Amino acid sequence: MQHAGGGRRTDFRVRLLGEFERYTPAGALITPQGTNRPRPEDARLLALLVLHRVGQPIPEDDLIRTGWDHGTGGREDLQPALSRLRGAAGVYGREGQLPITMVRVNRTYTLALDRHDVDATYFIDRVDDGLTDDPGDLGHLCGLWRGNPFKIHGNVPERVWAPLLQALDRFKTHLRARQSALSHRMADWDRFWSLWDEGSAPSPRVLIVDDDRSFVESLQVILTGYSCDCAYTLDQALLLITTHDQHPFEAAIVDLHLTQDGTDALGVTVLEEMVRSTPEVPRLLLTRNPLDESQLEAVRKYGLVDVYKKRTPTTAAPQLRSVVETMLNDRQVALRAEAEGHVNRLDRTIGRALAKARRQRRAQLVLTLTDLYERWVEAADAFEKRLAASSVTHQELDEFVRAWTTDIEREVSDVT
């Protein structure tokens, strides 16, 4: 058996680059029994154990901190996933099928695998060892990707995937720089790039704040197709809001009766923080009670899109999904209007500077500003196409405008 970096591997024990798969030592695919079918949290746990120090003991607290929310809620989610994975290992172990075991010692967990037994860590190591220009070698690495695991397992936090994402970014950068020489020589070229569909809109991110876990799970089903960030406590909600720049969400559903340590209605605190730090994000308030004057005041005070009375998931599904879709659509319309205003302003800035440079007969400056204008038009057209496809977030708009404002102001500063 060859180690990563020492040849082209095809015989892996665990495959993560697509649907999760496990294989026997003889290479047969292991199909879980009905009672051992993977759940979303199992995929998260397996990714954690494999991508973070595979084959080494990982403390339980590290697993919670990396892959779940802090505190008791995280442990409540982690423990059943650990039990299921250990149970599956036991079942398959008795049958002599499972080539891996999970060892627990003093609240640490070890997945007994070598790095070269997993396609994801093999890929990471091959990229870290340095990429060649050999189309056969690069094609082999492309062929490891059977699907897009980041979409397939959307419940796995980005920070869990970090080592794999970083290696993938370096690999794609290497391929792009050699596209003309490699694309016609690699059979997996088109299939590999089709996995990422980089021009399509990402799944809109929706923040859900509610201490009723079963209701949150029903909301996630209702909002299938959206990427949901869930908070079950006030602290978790505030953490997600304060890290909004790193993981921006585009709409929020907040339960008014968020309870913690006997205190009710902590949803108001969440709304206050959102008004302060993420005012552009549309907000929907959930309540168990009929709409009253105090809630109407909340609509006005916190800029809520609506107040929605909690009901059974079956009854709630069509109407609640429609409300969220309207929230996101209205926000996208506002985003496009804001973008149009910025584009027109920057366009006028370059145009005025170019006209002035021509009047002053400053030939070199005219050439510089003409080149700047052509680059700006190309970038603005591409950005507007992404806007039309709803694949731009407010954060990306801010970054685009900030970068071009800096470049344009620097170039036009010579025009007196």
Mean pLDDT by 10 residues, the chain (416 residues): 53 80 65 49 62 68 59 55 57 45 67 78 91 90 90 67 85 83 80 74 81 84 82 90 80 87 80 89 82 67 78 62 84 86 90 90 90 87 77 78 89 77
Last residue of a domain, one of 194, 213, 232: 194
Range of the domain at 406: 328-412
Looking at the structure, do residues 33 and 101 belong to the same domain, yes or no?
yes
The residues with which 229 forms a beta bridge, in sequence order, are 207
Outline where 177-262 has alpha helix (H).
179-182, 189-194, 213-222, 234-242
State residue 142's pLDDT score.
93
Q: Taking a C-beta distance cutoff of 8 angstroms, is the pair 99, 110 a contact?
A: no
Looking at the structure, do residues 24 and 120 belong to the same domain, yes or no?
yes
Looking at the structure, do residues 180 and 37 belong to the same domain, yes or no?
yes
In a domain, 316, yes or no: no
Looking at the structure, do residues 88 and 162 belong to the same domain, yes or no?
yes
State residue 43's pLDDT score.
57
Q: At what angle do helices 363-388 and 313-359 cross, to 10 degrees?
A: 170
In a domain, 199, yes or no: no
**Total number of domains in the chain:** 3
State residue 117's pLDDT score.
80
Cα–Cα distances in angstroms (integers) from residue 18 to residues 2, 112, 147, 366, in the given order? 22, 21, 4, 52
In a domain, 200, yes or no: no
Looking at the structure, do residues 234 and 150 belong to the same domain, yes or no?
no
Distance of CA 162 to the CA centre of its chain: 11
Last residue of a domain, one of 170, 194, 218: 194
In a domain, 147, yes or no: yes
Looking at the structure, do residues 39 and 164 belong to the same domain, yes or no?
yes
Given the structure tokens 């790039």, which residue do they identify? 193
Tokens of 7: 């040849």
Read off the amino acid at residue 47: A
In a domain, 319, yes or no: no
Closest CA to 256 of 285, 225, 278: 285
- Output the domain CATH number for residue 251: 3.40.50.2300
Looking at the structure, do residues 24 and 145 belong to the same domain, yes or no?
yes
In this prediction the pTM is: 0.51
In a domain, 82, yes or no: yes
In a domain, 3, yes or no: no
Last residue of a domain, one of 310, 344, 359: 310
Q: How many CB atoms lie within 10 A of CB 47?
A: 22
Given the structure tokens 């990982």, which residue do they identify? 58
Looking at the structure, do residues 160 and 49 belong to the same domain, yes or no?
yes
Looking at the structure, do residues 169 and 22 belong to the same domain, yes or no?
yes
Looking at the structure, do residues 338 and 296 belong to the same domain, yes or no?
no
State residue 143's pLDDT score.
92
